[in-house]
Structure 1
Amino acid sequence: MKRRDFLATTAVGLASLGRALPASPDRPNLLFIMTDQQRHDALSIAGNPVLKTPNLDQLAREGAWFERAYTQCAVCAPARATILTGRTVAHHGVRSNGLAHVEEDSGVCPMKTFDELLTDRGYRCEYHGKWHMPIHRTACYRQFGVERKPKGRYRLRHFINYRAQLDRDVPRREPRQGEQMSEYGRPYTVDPMDRWFGLPSGQDARKSKRRQPDYHGRLEIPADHSMTAYQGRCTVEALQRAARQSAPFSITASINFPHSPILPTAPYYGMYPPEEITPPASISDPMTNSPYRRANGRTQMPEYADPDKIRYMISNYYGLVREIDDWVGRILEELDRLGLRENTLVIFTSDHGEMLGAHGMREKNVFYEESARIPLILRFPERIRGGTCVAEPVSNLDLFATIMDYLGAGRVASDGESLRDTIEGRSTRPGYIVTEWNYHGPREPNYMVTDGRWKLLTCYSPESSIVNALYDLQEDPHEMTNLLGRNPEREQYRDQGERMKGLLVAWLERIGHAEHAVGVAKRPVINPNILLPGLTEIGVVCGDPVAERGVAFERESSVTRNEPVEAGGRGGWRTVRRKPGNRFRYVYFTVDYADFESGAKPHCRVSLDYFDEGYTEVTIVYDSSDATVKVVPRAPGAWKPGVRFTVGDSKTWKRATFEIHDARFAHRQNGRDIRVQVQGDRELTFGGLTIEAIAPPPGGPGAPE
């Protein structure tokens, strides 16, 4: 739909509306536009040489654009909770996407959002689009229907209405040649990036066992029936309602994209041809000295490290962003038309970024710039000088305080601080920001601290075996050279790493995270637990604390929660089923030492220490290179049985050992290499796992002649 056509249609019924009712300048309005998973450089004003975002560029020229804005957490629900409450992840408690679906009595997110506080001050608040927060924080919103389900889960009326509209206006049809069925129940034309490319047409994403995290191609529905178009229209209608009222308003447009599925409609599909797109500079990064070698499915999804395929994803991602830009233009034109521009603070941002093939990854969850940096633009005529560009690092943790400041709502307790002084050039900010994530354990960095040039990634646990990372963003903007870790010249960067660690500790103390401040302070910036090449035995001791030496232990999974225990005079861990009816419990181990990975040591002796109690059936399987093993459809590897045994009841520690000669250890089973399967009524107590390189069998492959 062209802009002039859109304005013509929305003008119907507005003849009697005229301009907005007079608003008091001391009670400004708020228009908050938030996308999902839009990275910082998905704007042409940010220097993107391909993507064009004229409306967002214009918004930036009319207000303040932040060159180095970061998310407080590069995950949807935690980031959104921070934006709305002004609290850190540790304080608001939404520590994962799953915690967006909890009841009010859970204790998660007990503090009010900025819209709840504005409602208390007489504001009229509406919210349209993706929520992804605990539902008990929505009581302040008008037009916010919700269909509640057990255990805190819910469906938003917004999406129910969209699907109903789609069913009414876009008839369903069967996929044609080259098409598959999308999660919308409508066909999409498949791109080479998609795992269904070249397969028989008519597969249904909702039913097939061939699962994939994203979908790539052209969604076969008209552009004016896309979800972005629907959410844009809802926002325009909200502005029209607000214009009829005398009360000030806060309206949020929470647009679902460019988050997956990566399925733009025409004309946005192909608007930026794949052949004109340059793959990320870091797409082939081996990451041998990175804490994220196994993150985001790098080992199971090689398509995201394929330069030819990733061009299609980037092309479609840019198409989704361009559609958003068009709708931002329409929303802002309607704001002008209604006479609301001068007294409305407009904020545009995203919850987090998207890797788009950088370092061979997809999605977010990591502290790399592509994931952690976000777009941020503020416009407020007469209050924010047009053309303002802020270069120092800021965080979306500060948006809550900024909103309350500009709207004259007074100082409200939060963990951030208003950006107003920064915008007006009189900032006393410390000059660095902190991003947080992964409170489940010390398997990956929990904190990132950056001052704009130097960037440290570290963990709160002194015992963790992860590689600390220090990057010089000025000399290494693609973060391919970790100056710490296994870098032979790491000693010359120790002082710089310690300086950044000191900033992080100071922030943790100021925010009130004293326990983690102590842990970070104790953790050496050059980790002594890093293993040098040449070892012939690796393993993990599952005590308290866990000691990982080349093998990582997964403390919990979707069906099992492991917990530390004492048994037979020593520490161990015990499986705990999440549901009473679960037949199996699983313990997962991952090889985290390059000399044993990807088939480098096919001949191994694997040993599991366990406490002999309970008459439990145990099976240990491993990632094998054996071509005869059945392949799981959603992953390129498969489990092969190594040993099966029955736990007795001698009340002593024992060891189960088996030899394998086809070890792959390529992390192909959702990032794991060894699985211990427990079957029976009793739980298994285990004390660790070792993997020892052995000679090949006589006459076998690899045996000396």
Structure 2
Amino acid sequence: MTGDAAQRPNILLVTVDQWPASLTGYENHPAILTPTLDQLARNGVRFPRTYSECPICIPARRSLMTGTTPRKHGDRSFDPAARMPALPTLAGTLRGAGYRSVAVGKLHVYPPRDRIGFDEVFLAEEGRPHLGGPDDYDMFLADQGFAGQGFLHGMNNNDYLWRPWHLPERTHVTNWTTWQMCREIKRRDPTRPNFWHLSYTHPHPPLAPLQAYLDIYRDAEPPVPPVADWARDEAALPYALRSITDYWAHVKPHHLRGIQRAFYALCTHIDHQFRVVLGTLREEGLLDNTVVLFTADHGDMLGTHGLWAKRVFYEDSARVPTILLGPQGDPRTPPGAVDNRLVQLADVMPTLLDFAGVAVPEEVEGRSMIGDARREILTAGCRDDASATRMATDGRFKLIWYPNGNRIQLFDLQEDPQEMQDRAGDASLAPRRAALEQALVEAAWGVDGDWISGGRLTGAPARAFRTQANRGLSGQRGNHFPPPPQAGADVVVGTPG
């Protein structure tokens, strides 16, 4: 680099899709192999109390890219046809400050080729050609002689079937995302600082990992997911949970080990490929002056309490891995540090702008993770229908509210990190419960007003649950050559509720 560009750090924002914070070696998981993340945590700071404000792909990524919560960016229900709101974006703000900005992988915006402030975008959008495009990963497959064959393994983006990847290793989306990002690092503008967004689509299903990574876990003994007593009576569960257990009722207990091993294989594959990106930065002489932030949009319950996927506020769905590595010697990210402040995805934008020395737009609601400001309580919400759920936590106690039927749970995360004991009825915790309920009242917006009366959470009459038809097999993909015709962008597939 030359001039001012040599002093301003490059920025690498790495996101993964549907990866729980607990599924890492540095959190002492007994089976997962994540050597790159473990080393990154030893070199930087990890934030174990990071939560997704809305643990669904599109709303979470809006928070990540705008530094705002759903209350401002407008989506806590997953609206695939919603344009990015008229807010400053992370990429656009950095580009306006002189950064060259490139994204590789998944953005999950509409229309798909909206750059949202990036100079260039190379997309891998999980088989959505019907929304427009084109998708760069699909074009890569065609160039390799596999046009439209990315989903011929028969697995599904919204289910827990598994089998090995069906094409050559180099064509796997994790390999392509890594390869394309390394090319962009090498093709950087040497006169400007660079912002790279590396967005892996896995371990979100489809569960079709490389055979080599399945082999790594062939003899692994994944832990049996805990199921609390409060979760055992399926008929008594809140509507939002009942819709999940019904939607994935075909996933049987004897499938669990295979699902876990396939999911772990996807994680370790990403971990190893991430090493290649870091190695490229090192060999290009950039690593010591690059900020690296690794996080996820949300997690996956993976059978804990009998639940699957996301859209709920238990730890494995809402708490995400977050590691921050500053430039070499930066005192704000001391090696091996653990910062227990409450963090949300909206904090990513002001944090990275802080490192870049760029003013944070006034619209941003997040707080810099290297600043002095702390939040006492973090609130979050997901969906506005019968499956709506809200959460408030002070870092130790977490309250989850299901407005449908006005159901409340309270967990002591310090004493009970797996959320096995619902303490909502514990009189000794009544003041803490009241404080968290009040936080939800104060944070209410939109349809929440219909579920609050007299300054208290009152909810709505319980809606009777009905089993759901799934004729489309949770949005099963097919043969994508020729590409499927464009369809209504507002059609949501693969969603329980």
Partner of 1:267 in structure 2?
A: 212
Partner of 1:140 in structure 2?
A: 117
**Residues 1:394 and 2:337 aligned together:** no
Using the TM superposition, give the Cα deviation of residue 483 of structure 1 relative to its aligned residue in structure 2, in angstroms.
2.5
Q: Distance in 1 between matches of 2:245 and 2:448?
A: 29
Using the TM superposition, give the Cα deviation of residue 458 of structure 1 relative to its aligned residue in structure 2, in angstroms.
2.0
Change over 3 Å in CA distance of 1:476–1:283 after alignment to 2: closer
> Number of residues paired by the alignment?
468
Greater relative contact order (CA < 8 Å, ≥ 6 in sequence): 2
Amino acid at match of 1:472: D
Amino acid at match of 1:417: R
Query: 8 Å contact 2:405–2:463 — kept in the other structure?
Result: no
**Residues 1:32 and 2:9 aligned together:** no
Partner of 1:129 in structure 2?
A: 105
**Residues 1:420 and 2:348 aligned together:** no
| Secondary structure of 2:258's aligned partner | helix
Amino acid at match of 1:420: I
Query: 8 Å contact 1:270–1:316 — kept in the other structure?
Result: no
Amino acid at match of 2:139: N
Q: How does 1:11-26 map to 2 (within 5 A)?
A: 24=5, 26=7
Q: Percent identity?
A: 25
Amino acid at match of 1:298: T
Partner of 2:150 in structure 1?
A: 184
Partner of 1:248 in structure 2?
A: 193
| Secondary structure of 1:276's aligned partner | coil
| Secondary structure of 1:254's aligned partner | strand
Q: Distance in 2 between matches of 1:312 and 1:115?
A: 39
Partner of 2:430 in structure 1?
A: 494
Using the TM superposition, give the Cα deviation of residue 468 of structure 1 relative to its aligned residue in structure 2, in angstroms.
1.3
Which among 79, 82, 86 is matched to residue 110 of structure 1? Answer: 86
Alpha-carbon deviations, 1:346-389, whole Å to 9, x = none? 11111100111112122101111000010101111222221111
Using the TM superposition, give the Cα deviation of residue 301 of structure 1 relative to its aligned residue in structure 2, in angstroms.
2.5
Which among 465, 485, 505 is matched to residue 405 of structure 2? Answer: 465
Using the TM superposition, give the Cα deviation of residue 316 of structure 1 relative to its aligned residue in structure 2, in angstroms.
0.7
**TM-score, normalised with respect to structure 1:** 0.61
Higher strand share: 1
Amino acid at match of 1:451: D
Q: Distance in 2 between matches of 1:261 and 1:310?
A: 15
Change over 3 Å in CA distance of 1:186–1:399 after alignment to 2: same
Q: Distance in 1 between matches of 2:190 and 2:449?
A: 49
Partner of 2:180 in structure 1?
A: 234
Change over 3 Å in CA distance of 1:411–1:300 after alignment to 2: closer
Over aligned residue pairs, what C-alpha RMSD do you find?
3.4
Query: 8 Å contact 1:78–1:89 — kept in the other structure?
Result: yes
| Secondary structure of 1:155's aligned partner | coil
Query: 8 Å contact 1:36–1:352 — kept in the other structure?
Result: yes
Q: Distance in 2 between matches of 1:263 and 1:456?
A: 36
Using the TM superposition, give the Cα deviation of residue 259 of structure 1 relative to its aligned residue in structure 2, in angstroms.
0.4
Query: 8 Å contact 2:55–2:298 — kept in the other structure?
Result: yes
Query: 8 Å contact 2:67–2:346 — kept in the other structure?
Result: yes
**Residues 1:371 and 2:307 aligned together:** no
Q: How does 1:268-347 map to 2 (within 5 A)?
A: 268-273=213-218, 276-282=221-227, 285-287=231-233, 290-291=237-238, 294-295=241-242, 297-304=244-251, 306-347=252-293
**Residues 1:78 and 2:59 aligned together:** yes
Q: Distance in 1 between matches of 2:284 and 2:155?
A: 43
| Secondary structure of 2:53's aligned partner | coil
Using the TM superposition, give the Cα deviation of residue 139 of structure 1 relative to its aligned residue in structure 2, in angstroms.
5.5
Change over 3 Å in CA distance of 1:302–1:279 after alignment to 2: farther
Which among 22, 38, 42 is matched to residue 23 of structure 2? Answer: 42
Using the TM superposition, give the Cα deviation of residue 324 of structure 1 relative to its aligned residue in structure 2, in angstroms.
0.4
| Secondary structure of 2:214's aligned partner | coil
Amino acid at match of 2:38: D
Amino acid at match of 2:360: R
Partner of 1:448 in structure 2?
A: 391
Using the TM superposition, give the Cα deviation of residue 66 of structure 1 relative to its aligned residue in structure 2, in angstroms.
1.1
Larger Rg: 1
Change over 3 Å in CA distance of 1:292–1:324 after alignment to 2: farther
Using the TM superposition, give the Cα deviation of residue 58 of structure 1 relative to its aligned residue in structure 2, in angstroms.
1.0
Which consecutive residues of structure 1, in runs of 5 or more, have no partner in the other structure?
1-19, 173-182, 188-203, 422-426, 530-546, 553-589, 592-621, 624-629, 636-669, 673-705
Partner of 1:159 in structure 2?
A: 137
Q: How does 1:565-644 map to 2 (within 5 A)?
A: 590=465
Alpha-carbon deviations, 1:19-78, whole Å to 9, x = none? x66763542211111111111022101111111111111111111111121111100000
Change over 3 Å in CA distance of 1:523–1:278 after alignment to 2: farther
Q: Distance in 2 between matches of 1:492 and 1:120?
A: 52
Q: Distance in 2 between matches of 1:633 and 1:155?
A: 23
